[in-house]
Amino acid sequence: MVIFLFFLLLIGVIFLIAYVAAQSRKRKQKKMLNNLPSDVDFHAFVRFNHGNEQGKFMKIKAFQGSGILFVQNDSIEFRSTQGIQHRFDLANSTIQWEGENLVNGLLKWFSINDENEKYFFNVETGMFIFHTGGNKPTTRSIYDQLILKQSSLK
């Protein structure tokens, strides 16, 4: 009986941590949405890796952090929750589908590369890597939107 109660308490603590983390993530996302310019064409919440971090084998998480990626006029801008910002020229940057990266788990990735920086992105799913709702974007749909915006400029 004591073991069962301990097990139940442990599961409760795990769910409480997941709930608190989800609420914190939602607050950060809402704040980022409120700070977007009014003329944004497209936006998506993403996880990211910067440069060589994508291929590193020994790391705690598959991604460095999360943020928002959006298209405004002729550029793609990325803003992370950690204060990292980078603007890519939409017409002159390379947007490439990377597919699954086994070093980074079961996650699918795309990259955006200009002459200065290369970032890897996948969709922000919260605590789990699987989508439970049909209304959430996928990594592939975000990539497709960016390719579509880029091809409309050429």
Q: What is the number of domains present in the chain?
A: 2
DSSP H or E segment with residue 149: helix 139-153
Q: What is the pLDDT of residue 113?
A: 93
Q: Are residues 101 and 114 in the same domain?
A: yes
- Phi and psi angles of residue 111, each rounded to the nearest 5 degrees, phi first: -125, 155
Residues 99 and 144 in one domain: yes
d(CA 9, CA 63): 30
Joined together, the tokens standing for residue 129 give: 């890597």
Q: Which domain holds residue 10?
A: 1-35
- On whether both 84 and 73 belong to a single domain, the answer is yes
The pLDDT value recorded for residue 61 is 56
pLDDT digits (tens, 9 = 90+) for 48-87: 887 665 555 555 556 778 899 999 988 999 998 888 889 9
Supply the CATH number for residue 102's domain: 2.30.29.30
- Segment 119-144, tens digit of pLDDT: 989 887 654 544 445 567 889 999 99
The reply to whether 110 and 85 lie within a common domain is yes
d(CA 48, CA 122): 7
Q: Give the phi and the psi of residue 114 in degrees, each rounded to 5.
A: -110, -170
